[in-house]
C-alpha cells in the first residue's frame, strides 16, 4: 500500500519564526507519522515542542514549509474545514485546562461542543446520548464515581484523566498531548501515561506527545523525535536501543548540567565495566591458554 493510506501527519521543511522574535522557534522540521504510532517529541523547555504540536492542528501558521494532517494541508484550512480538523484532533495540555467550578461530567461534555450548535449551560442541555457517552468515557478513565463533583476538587492526576475523557468525546483520530504529566507527581504521571497508551491501543489512535523527561520517553514511546533549539536532532524507534544509543539520546536532547553529569557518570561506569570485562576476558584467555598448555603436557 502507498504511504498515503497510513500517513496521518506529514511535515516537510517546517520553519516558524514568531513575529518580532530574534530566533526561529522551528527550523527545517520534517517528520512523517503513521497511523497508530506513539511518538514522543522530546526536548528541553524552549526547544519547540509546543510550537510543533500547535502546527498539527492549525493553532499556528508556518513561516516556511508544509504540514499535512489527516490528508489536509493545515495552513490552507479556514472556517468549517479547520474546525473539522480540530474536531478530529484531541489535545491534552500540561495544565489540564479544566473548568474548576463545573462538574466533572460537564467538563467532559464540553469536548463535544464542536459538534453542537449554540451555547450549553448545564448537563441537561446536552442530548442524552452525549451524556451517556461522557459517562462511558469517565468510566474508562476510572472516574465515573466523580461525575457530579466539582472538577476543582479533584487531584491533578484526576483532572488530567478528565481531560483525556473530554478529548475522547471528539472521537479523535489523532491525540496531541503537550507535556501532559509535567505538573504531576511521579505516581500520577505513570498512571496518566499508561492510560494514554491503553486508550490509544484500544482505539487505534495516533499519539504525538511532548515530554522533557528522557526516562519517561524511553519507557513509553514507540519512537522518539528529539528537538533541540527548533531542529530535529534525533528520530529513532525505542525497541532494542543499546545503552550507547540511550546515552546518545541524553547527550543530544538533554543539556541541563544535572543531566550531563548523570550521563558522564553513566558513561564512566560503562567504561569501567567494559574495562573490567576486558580484564576478565584476557584473564580467562590466559587461564585457557594455561589449561591448554597444561593439557598438552
Ligand atoms: N507565542 C510566542 N511568541 C513568541 N515566541 C514564542 C511564542 N511561543 C513560543 N515562543 C518561543 O519559541 C521557542 C519554542 O517555544 P515552545 O514551542 O514553547 O518550546 P517548548 O514547548 O519545547 O518549551 C522558544 O524560544 C519560545 O520562547
Ligand atoms: Mg511547551
Q: Report the C-alpha gap between 106 and 131 in whole angstroms.
A: 9
To the nearest 10°, the Cα dihedral for 16, 18, 20, 21?
A: -70
Atom of ligand 1 nearest to the CA of 179: 21
Nearest CA to ligand 1 atom 4: 18
What are the tens digits of pLDDT across the range 163-220? 999 999 999 999 999 999 999 999 999 999 999 999 999 999 999 999 998 889 999 9
User: pLDDT-derived band of residue 291, with 50, 70 and 90 as boundaries?
Assistant: low
Predicted confidence at residue 4, as pLDDT, reads 53
**SS3 state at 100:** coil
Query: What distance in angstroms lies between residue 48's CA and the mean position of ligand 1's atoms?
Result: 6
Angle at 292 between CA 289 and CA 295, to 5 degrees: 150
Ligand nearest the Cα atom of residue 95: 2
Contact 224, 40 (CB under 8 A): yes
**SS3 state at 241:** coil
Instruction: List residues, by chain if needed, whose CB lies under 5 Å from ion ligand 2.
Output: 49-50
Atom of ligand 1 nearest to the CA of 23: 25
pTM of the entire structure?
0.85
The conformation of residue 27, written as its DSSP 8-state character, comes to E
Share of the chain above pLDDT 70, in %: 87
The finding on whether 148 has its CB within 6 A of some atom of ligand 1 is: no
Contact 235, 245 (CB under 8 A): no
Give 92's strand partners. Answer: 177
Q: Report the C-alpha gap between 22 and 154 in whole angstroms.
A: 41
Closest CA to 91 of 126, 122, 132, 50: 50
User: pLDDT-derived band of residue 87, with 50, 70 and 90 as boundaries?
Assistant: very high
CA distance to 269, 272, 274, 278, 287, per residue, from 281 (Å): 18, 14, 10, 5, 10
Query: Residue range 138-152: average pLDDT?
Result: 97
Q: Report the C-alpha gap between 192 and 184 in whole angstroms.
A: 9
Contact 180, 97 (CB under 8 A): no
User: pLDDT-derived band of residue 294, with 50, 70 and 90 as boundaries?
Assistant: very low
User: pLDDT-derived band of residue 267, with 50, 70 and 90 as boundaries?
Assistant: low
The finding on whether 45 has its CB within 6 A of some atom of ligand 1 is: yes
Higher confidence at residue 4 or residue 282? 282
Query: E strand or H helix at 79, and its extent?
Result: helix 79-87
Buried b (16+ CB within 10 A) or exposed e, 250-285: bbbbbeeeebeeebeeeeeeeeeeeeeeeeeeeeee
Alpha carbons within 13 angstroms on the beta-carbon side of residue 161 total 24
Query: Residue range 241-253: average pLDDT?
Result: 81
Atom of ligand 1 nearest to the CA of 44: 22
Higher confidence at residue 218 or residue 123? 218
Higher confidence at residue 92 or residue 250? 92
Q: Which residue has the cell 496521518?
A: 8
Contact 60, 54 (CB under 8 A): yes
Contact 185, 1 (CB under 8 A): no
Amino acid at each position: 500500500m502507498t504511504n498515503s493510506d497510513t500517513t496521518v501527519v506529514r511535515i516537510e521543511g517546517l520553519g516558524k519564526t514568531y513575529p518580532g522574535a530574534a530566533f526561529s522557534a522551528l527550523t527545517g522540521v520534517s517528520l512523517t507519522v503513521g497511523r497508530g504510532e506513539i511518538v514522543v517529541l522530546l526536548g528541553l523547555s524552549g526547544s519547540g515542542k509546543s510550537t510543533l504540536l500547535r502546527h498539527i492542528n492549525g493553532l499556528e501558521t508556518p513561516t516556511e514549509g508544509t504540514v499535512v494532517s489527516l490528508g489536509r494541508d493545515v495552513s490552507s484550512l479556514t472556517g468549517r474545514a479547520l474546525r473539522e480538523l480540530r474536531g478530529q484532533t484531541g489535545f491534552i495540555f500540561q495544565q489540564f485546562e479544566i473548568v474548576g467550578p463545573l462538574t466533572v461530567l460537564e467538563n467532559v461534555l464540553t469536548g463535544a461542543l464542536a459538534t453542537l450548535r449554540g451555547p450549553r449551560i448545564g448537563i441537561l442541555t446536552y442530548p442524552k446520548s452525549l451524556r451517556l457517552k461522557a459517562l462511558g468515557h469517565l468510566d474508562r478513565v476510572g472516574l465515573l464515581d466523580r461525575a457530579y463533583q466539582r472538577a476543582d476538587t479533584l487531584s491533578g492526576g484526576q483532572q488530567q484523566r478528565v481531560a483525556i475523557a473530554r478529548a475522547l468525546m471528539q472521537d479523535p483520530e489523532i491525540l496531541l498531548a503537550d507535556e501532559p504529566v509535567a505538573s504531576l507527581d511521579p505516581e500520577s504521571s505513570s498512571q496518566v501515561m499508561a492510560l494514554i497508551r491503553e486508550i490509544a491501543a484500544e482505539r487505534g489512535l495516533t499519539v504525538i506527545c511532548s515530554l522533557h523527561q528522557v526516562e519517561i520517553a524511553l519507557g513509553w514511546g514507540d519512537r522518539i523525535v528529539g528537538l533541540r533549539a527548533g531542529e530535529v536532532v534525533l528520530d529513532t524507534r525505542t525497541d532494542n536501543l543499546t545503552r550507547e544509543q540511550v546515552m546518545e539520546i541524553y547527550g543530544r536532547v538533554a543539556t541541563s548540567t544535572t543531566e550531563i553529569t548523570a550521563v558522564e557518570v553513566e558513561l564512566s561506569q560503562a567504561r569501567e565495566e567494559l574495562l573490567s570485562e576486558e580484564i576478565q576476558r584476557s584473564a580467562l584467555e590466559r587461564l585457557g591458554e594455561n589449561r591448554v598448555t597444561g593439557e598438552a603436557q
